[in-house]
Chain A
């Protein structure tokens, strides 16, 4: 690890002030950041340790929802009684990721900010426009099994690797962000991450000095909640494809279909056209295919990850069929 100055932030304003400086980063759980610092993918000059700022509370909100503090660990969120009873898709998504040791340390805010696991990003001997703008993308025409098929650019085909945010996106969760001046703003989880475009180094909408303080979930809605993750081994592997689904069927017709997809893009993928196709219709294989056609109409593989396109279609079929079965 390169030398850095360690600062224990005494307040949110203190932390925000420190990380406004170029070359300064906030550290919470550290499970991703310290890994990247050892690889010298990240070489911060300063760290602001935000672990002593509270923000670990998980509490009911006035509107019947739940507010998960940014420093609540992944484990704390997954085992919280209300997450298990009202937001099982979120509990399942978190439990499907990483290992118990990592989930015990990783935080809600940090998980949203985790970096891609693209092999070219994490290897400083390889070109990567995200790590070193202008150096090229090794994954295009390279080893791209884990890579994106939706929303890519000629600069970057990396994926957002997480599970938690996929479920949060389907649930319509909102990220609370504090700024140095004390102001707070909110951004839907679905809009928090960016597509690579011409700025692949920009992974989310956080501005310099901004810190995530919490994620709030809206009140529970009716319907079946499913998180299905397809991966190369049954534990401790990133998703090839994952689907978070909140689906309701009333009188034999889809009345809710909030879906988000992991492993396909630089962000949890949400396509509102899928709900438009499904809602008001009788479930059928033909209808599921129509939904998959819309989702995948712009999909592009890069050789090694071509399989993700038919795999996503099959996984979507399986999830919708499971929702129909559970509603029956």
Chain B
């Protein structure tokens, strides 16, 4: 039986060469180039995708290890005509300059909201238990795995904070 990975709801067969990372599989085999290759070593977060609801660096895992998994990439989060709340907020707050890190930022922040909904603590949380208040400090800590070489951090945090406020109200 051919092994496959579900990407944004569509099945794609896993290539034969076991060296293919999930990132290269998404870009080359599934043809979804929204996910970006930055450092290819898990340092920059440009390749962040959501696998079975959890955000990971797609460059540091092999496609062969994900038989049967469900992957959501930036293409599965929103479209030009129907952007997600985060995508709209990034545009409204100018949360980018060149845009190369943006798909990773959006995927990362999308999954981050699920983590916050589950009250998972972070290094910035005063308490390990209970409800977490979404402060700028929390957002910066939780997004520290996504680098922006243009330095649009202030606006990225503002965009995420705006969506957090929207969700909270």
Q: Are B61 and A91 in contact (CB under 8 A)?
A: no
Provide the bound-state CA to CA distance between A4 and B118, in Å: 39
Please count how many residues in chain A sit with their CB below 8 Å of the partner chain's CB atoms.
38
Query: Is A95 in the interface zone, CB < 8 Å from B?
Result: yes
Q: Which of B25-33, B139-147, B151-159 contacts A (4 or more CB under 8 A)?
A: B139-147
Query: Is B85 in the interface zone, CB < 8 Å from A?
Result: no
Shortest beta-carbon contacts, A-B, top 9: A99-B145, A6-B18, A235-B144, A84-B128, A95-B123, A1-B19, A236-B144, A101-B145, A79-B120
Where the two chains meet, the residues of B that have a C-beta atom closer than 8 Å to any C-beta of A are: 17-19, 21, 40-42, 45, 48, 54-57, 60-62, 64-65, 108, 112, 115, 118, 120-123, 125, 128-129, 140-142, 144-145
Where the two chains meet, the residues of A that have a C-beta atom closer than 8 Å to any C-beta of B are: 1, 3-6, 8, 27, 29-31, 34-35, 38-39, 47, 49, 51, 75, 78-79, 81, 84-85, 88, 91-92, 95-96, 98-102, 104-105, 234-236
Q: Are A104 and B54 in contact (CB under 8 A)?
A: yes
Contacting residues, chain A, for B129 (C-beta < 8 A)? 81, 84-85
Provide the bound-state CA to CA distance between A102 and B41, in Å: 11
With A34-B62, A101-B108: A3-B123 Cβ-Cβ less than 8 Å = no
Q: Are B57 and A102 in contact (CB under 8 A)?
A: yes
Q: Which chain B residue shows the least CB distance to A91? A: B128
With A34-B21, A35-B42, A96-B123: A105-B61 Cβ-Cβ less than 8 Å = yes
Q: Are B42 and A102 in contact (CB under 8 A)?
A: yes
Q: Are A3 and B19 in contact (CB under 8 A)?
A: yes
Contacting residues, chain B, for A235 (C-beta < 8 A)? 123, 140-141, 144
* Most interface-central of B40, B62, B125 (chain A CB within 10 A): B62
- Name A100's contact: one of B21, B115, B118, B128 (CB within 8 Å): B115
